[in-house]
Amino acid sequence: MATSKESGKSAGSSGGSAQKSGGGSGSGPAKRGFAAMDQNQQREIASKGGQAAHQKGTAHEFDSEEARRAGQKGGEAVSRNRAHMADIGRKGGESRQSASRAAAAAAGGAASGSGTKGGSRQGSKEQ
């Protein structure tokens, strides 16, 4: 009798583990509990937890000074990455340049806008 129970357990457990390893091998471990819920359910539960913490008085609320310090720390951390900052500057320059081109085109065409810029440049060279 003991052997029949053991064989039943091993057969059941191997079937269960085969399903988990077969289904989860491509996408990692199977999601269970909170992770298995859809996003709306997760938000509802998290919202209830936040409301309960506020009612109890244990919730943390940022004041403006604390938020300012946190933002400053984040800015310092980002600015240490020189390649990232160069990329940001490059994108900003590109968008500013395209915005000025669009404004010049709207003001009277690209030819008249560029002629005005060229005239001021030539004037500065002659003087």
Among 32, 34, 54, CA closest to 42: 34
Amino acid 7: pLDDT: 47
Residue 8 pLDDT > 60, yes or no? Answer: no
Tokens coding 12: 């059941």
pTM of the model: 0.31
Q: CA angle, 106 as apex, 126 and 124 as ends, to 5°?
A: 10
Q: What is d(CA 41, CA 48) in angstroms, rounded to the nearest whole number?
A: 11
Q: Indicate the residue type of 40.
A: N
104 pLDDT band, cuts 50/70/90, is confident
Calpha distance 70→64 (Å, rounded): 10
Cβ–Cβ under 8 Å, residues 42 and 34: yes
Q: Specify which of 11-25, 71-85, 105-119 reaches the highest per-range mean pLDDT.
A: 71-85
Confidence of residue 76 (pLDDT cuts 50, 70, 90): confident
Task: Give the best-scoring range by mean pLDDT among 19-23, 42-46, 80-84, 92-96.
Answer: 42-46
Contact 72, 78 (CB under 8 A): no
Distance CA 71, CA 77 (A): 10
